[in-house]
Structures are given as structure tokens and as C-alpha cells.
Amino acid sequence: MIYTVTFNPSLDYIGRLDLFKPGTINRLKYEKFLCGGKGINVSIVLKNLGIENTALGFLAGFTGKEIERQMNDIFHCSSDFIYLSEGNTRINMKIKADLETEINGQGPNITPVAITLLFDKLSKLQKNDFLILAGSIPNSLPNDIYEKILGQLYKKGINFIVDAEGNLLVNVLKYKPFLIKPNNHELSGIFKKDLTTPAELIKHARILQEKGARNILISRGGDGAILLTEHGQCIKCSAPKGKLINSVGAGDSMVAGFTAGYITTKNYETAFCTGIASGSASAFSENLATKEEVTNLMKQIKL
């Protein structure tokens, strides 16, 4: 079974207009509410690709109820969220105009009791299950929460996939995660230097591999991606051609596609291709990648 965890979900309010003018009234031409958060995005794309999974995390208030409604009624995803007694799940505003502007909410306070409930749910995972931890954490959580989760589950033989920045990622490498997915900017941030060329990215990613990561998927946006496998392979691929419409969720879709490809075939090259096609399919669409879109883009992919 596959589980995703989203510590700080959001209800994304997406608005479009031709020109955004700060300091005055702006009238939208398009608006939509979508459930969001990296783990939730992964769950939706996995389901779109025919892979059953369960979304875990924390919800609160009327915005939390809308996220759960969308997950169940629109995206047909299984979920087992923990409801907080106070506050509301955050609303993130994404204004798409001549420039993109984002205003992200803070989110509710996550109590120690709620954290204990999450650990109770995670304790039921079994050997060979996949656990995907993705995204940032709210201020109300300890900054070593990822490390504590992997530490508790490490001896159970669970496949960990971690998509996070900085110390959230680095501090879990000792638990030998199955996959980590830094993008080129996040990799540069970890090593505090500007890494731009494939050779530089590969050299520094191998350091993270030496620290414990089994497989490393480096996303490079429009420049494609690089995969370092636990078998010593280094595979590069350019991105498929298409018009960028919405970059939100593209990295999460890549994680979902890689996971779906690997679970289906146990082949890293196929997983890599499916990941790239899934990330690109989301980037080329208003919504997250569908199976049909991914299948069509797979025809363009050459390793």
C-alpha cells in the first residue's frame, strides 16, 4: 500500500487576469478552488494513474472539509485525515497574470495530541509499503518531524520517498530512503553553492547517495531530469515539448509518476520515464496529470 502525508494542506484559490495592479481593485476573469499540498497532489496523480493510495495529514475547519470533499467526490482518493479541533486549513491564493503572485496562509496549530494520532496511524504500515513525505511543515510542528517518523518506521522495511528541502531532507538520509527528489535549486541550497550543469548536479547528488539515499531524482524544470539509481546508473532525459500552463504540482506529479512506474514494473528506467511524463503533463495542463496525458507524453521521452 502507498501512503502520502501532507502536514500543511491548503485550499488553493486560483485566479486569472491579464494584468495585476497592486494597490487597486483587480477583477478576475477566471477563478477556481482546488485542494492542494504536495502529498495531496501526489495522491491525486497516483489515483489518476490507477494506483490506489491513502492520503494522511491534518485538516481543520470548513476549508478542511472542502479538501476532504474534493478528495473523495471529485478525485476519488482514499484518505484518513486527522481533524484538528480549532482553526482552519489554510487558503493559498495564486494569482496568475502578467506575473504570478502567491499569498500562502499560515494554517492551524497542530497539537501534540494530533501528532500522536498520526504516529499511531503510521505504526500500522507494513513491510514493503511506500510512505511519501512531501513538502514543508508548519511552525507548530517540531523541525525534526520527518526524522522522527523515519526513525520510528525504519526497521519495518518500509520504502520512504522524501520530497523536502534543506535539513528536512538531509537529516533523513541515514534512514536510507528509497527515493529523494531535490530539484536543482534545492540541491544548490543544500550545498550552499550555485549548481547549474548536469555534471555539478550529479557530483553533489552522489554525496547525498553516499549518505544513504538509494535513488535520487533531480528535477530540472524545462531542462528535464537526472536519475541516479542504487545500482550505479546515471540516466538523463530532456523534458517533452509543450506549453507551460501551470507549474504548480509538476514536481509532485513527477514523484507520483515515478512511484507508479516503479510499482507497476519494478524497472527504474520505466519509472523515470513515467515520472518525467507525469510532471510535464501537469505543467502543460490547468489540472494535475491524467493517465491519458501521461501516456501521450511517454511517446516523446528518450533517455
State the sign of the Cα–Cα–Cα–Cα dihedral 181, 186, 190, 194: positive
pLDDT band at 100, cuts 50/70/90?
Answer: confident
Q: CATH topology for 1-141?
A: UDP-N-acetylmuramoyl-L-alanine:D-glutamate ligase (3.40.1190)
C-alpha cell at 18: 491579464
Residues with a catalytic annotation lie at 252
Following CA atoms 133, 84, 55, 126 in sequence, which dihedral angle do they give, to the nearest 10 degrees? 70
Angle at 186 between CA 145 and CA 277, to 5 degrees: 100
Tens of pLDDT, residues 190-218: 999 999 899 999 999 999 999 999 999 99
Closest CA to 237 of 284, 264, 204, 272: 272
SS3 54: strand
Q: Which residues pair with 96 in a beta bridge?
A: 16, 100
Q: Which residues pair with 5 in a beta bridge?
A: 56, 133
Q: At what angle do helices 291-298 and 268-283 cross, to 10 degrees?
A: 120
Position 282 scores a pLDDT of: 95
Polymer length in residues for the chain: 303
Are the CB atoms for 133 and 162 separated by under 8 Å?
yes
The domain limits of the chain are 1-141
pLDDT-above-70 percentage for the chain: 100
**From CA 222, how far away is CA 170, in angstroms rounded?**
25
**From CA 137, how far away is CA 107, in angstroms rounded?**
10
Are the CB atoms for 269 and 303 separated by under 8 Å?
yes
Greater pLDDT, 111 or 247: 111
Position 266 scores a pLDDT of: 96
Position 246 scores a pLDDT of: 79
Tens of pLDDT, residues 253-288: 999 999 999 999 999 999 999 999 999 999 999 889
Are the CB atoms for 217 and 275 separated by under 8 Å?
yes
Following CA atoms 155, 161, 166, 168 in sequence, which dihedral angle do they give, to the nearest 10 degrees? -40
**From CA 112, how far away is CA 82, in angstroms rounded?**
12
Q: At what angle do helices 145-153 and 112-122 cross, to 10 degrees?
A: 30
pLDDT band at 26, cuts 50/70/90?
Answer: very high
**Block residue for cell numbers 518525467:** 276
Tens of pLDDT, residues 160-187: 999 999 999 999 999 999 999 999 999 9
SS3 117: helix
- Using only C-alpha atoms, what is the Rg of the chain? 19
pLDDT band at 131, cuts 50/70/90?
Answer: very high
Position 21 scores a pLDDT of: 92
**From CA 223, how far away is CA 219, in angstroms rounded?**
8
Position 111 scores a pLDDT of: 94
Position 163 scores a pLDDT of: 95
pLDDT band at 239, cuts 50/70/90?
Answer: confident
Are the CB atoms for 244 and 283 separated by under 8 Å?
yes
**From CA 248, how far away is CA 244, in angstroms rounded?**
11
Q: State the average pLDDT for the chain.
A: 94
Position 248 scores a pLDDT of: 80
